[in-house]
Amino acid sequence: MGIADDAVEIRAHGWRTLAALHALIENALERVLQGEHGLSVVEYTVLDALARQDGRHMRMRRLARAAALSNSAATRLVTRLEDRGLLTRVLCADDRRGIYTELAPAGLELLERARPTHDRVLREALAEAGGTPELAPLVGALRGLEPRPLP
Amino acid sequence: MGIADDAVEIRAHGWRTLAALHALIENALERVLQGEHGLSVVEYTVLDALARQDGRHMRMRRLARAAALSNSAATRLVTRLEDRGLLTRVLCADDRRGIYTELAPAGLELLERARPTHDRVLREALAEAGGTPELAPLVGALRGLEPRPLP
DNA sequence: GATTTTCCGTTGCGTGTGCAACGAGCGCAG
DNA sequence: CTGCGCTCGTTGCACACGCAACGGAAAATC
């Protein structure tokens, strides 16, 4: 049992903890967002990512990366949201291979209606995880991550 | 923009970072474990959890919780692994509703063959994430999580 | 300028998943 | 002992996903 073995075990433990916390939060979000707004977590993530983007548009490839999805999954996800009128496909002018997905007004509206729910559930899930001895340290570490590192 | 809004944004940012790192690691593990050992990440997780358990057995419900799966998914996952001879179903003596899933020798063997791969890919994925400014802080925090808190 | 290579988004296919409904077995109140 | 509520694991169903293959468009190579 050397130092190297310890490092391996620390990484494995960190990964198990990360996965457990991720599953806890995602399941909670999935349940409530689906029930109250008809949105899955990935769908919310995509709408949110689009809203944060300048011009509210994004290329498919970027969108797939942002949501950690395959190309095919991104295509169908965008199709679903487009059918619901939450976003629109816009062809690229300069690169005719590319397709922009642009957030529609209805999409922005739904997003802003769902955001308080999202934030509330996230806060509750983190609080619950903070009460679990196994997860508490990671929850604490998450608080230290600043969106914009202070100068 | 008050302190409360900052807290909300910090939580949201923490969640996005957590999700991104989780996806990065899981995709890397999935690709390699599937390619080299025919195991998905969930399957590896279940075998690993069983191996860590005293007596190498576990009830379905516990197993489902450990892998963050629904009951139905656990049932089918166990069925798949049982069909491959990696574990066996054993009926509970005291509670005839319950079913133990016990790690078979072939399962333990496959697990120990896959473990080095798992650890290597995990190390590489964390190293790669450590090079990303957005993910590096969380990777660093993960190192601070001790499997057994020192006295 | 023509040809090859690479990239982008879409589609057919197989598969793993969650939800809801179900039967079987335990435990408690009466 | 009998009925009722609850837990446990399984199954039908719909659905979202990844992979591989495809056509179209830009980039690279000659």
A-B CB pairs within 8 A amount to: 95
Q: What is the pLDDT along chain B (151 residues), one digit of tens a residue?
A: 667 778 999 999 999 999 999 999 999 999 999 999 999 999 999 999 999 999 999 999 999 999 999 999 999 999 999 999 999 999 988 899 999 999 999 999 999 999 999 999 999 999 999 999 999 999 999 998 877 654 4
Domain ranges of chain A: 3-143
What Å value separates CA A73 and C1' D13? Answer: 21
- Residues A27, A147 contacting (CB under 8 angstroms): no
CA distances from A134 to A116, B84, B145, B147, B151 (A): 28, 33, 10, 9, 16
Distance CA A14, CA B147 (A): 8
Asked if B17 is an interface residue toward chain A (Cβ–Cβ < 8 A), one would say yes
SS3 state at B59: strand
Structure confidence by residue, pLDDT tens digits, B134-151:
999 999 999 988 776 544
Classify the C-alpha dihedral A122-A128-A134-A136 as positive or negative.
positive
Q: Which of residues 18-37 of A touch B (CB under 8 A)?
A: 18-27
- Residues B82, B104 contacting (CB under 8 angstroms): no
Q: In this structure, which topology does domain B3-143 adopt according to CATH?
A: Arc Repressor Mutant, subunit A (1.10.10)
Distance CA B105, CA B120 (A): 24
Task: Please name which of A22, A16, A6 lies closest in space to residue A129, comparing C-alpha atoms.
Answer: A22
- Residues B89, B79 contacting (CB under 8 angstroms): no
Tokens of A134: 């196994």
pTM of the entire predicted model: 0.94
Q: Which of B15, B70, B132 should be substituted to probe chain A, the one whose Cβ sees the most A Cβ atoms within 10 Å?
A: B15
Distance CA B131, CA B146 (A): 22
- Residues A80, A86 contacting (CB under 8 angstroms): no
Q: For residue A151, what pLDDT band results from cuts at 50, 70 and 90?
A: very low
- Residues A50, A57 contacting (CB under 8 angstroms): yes
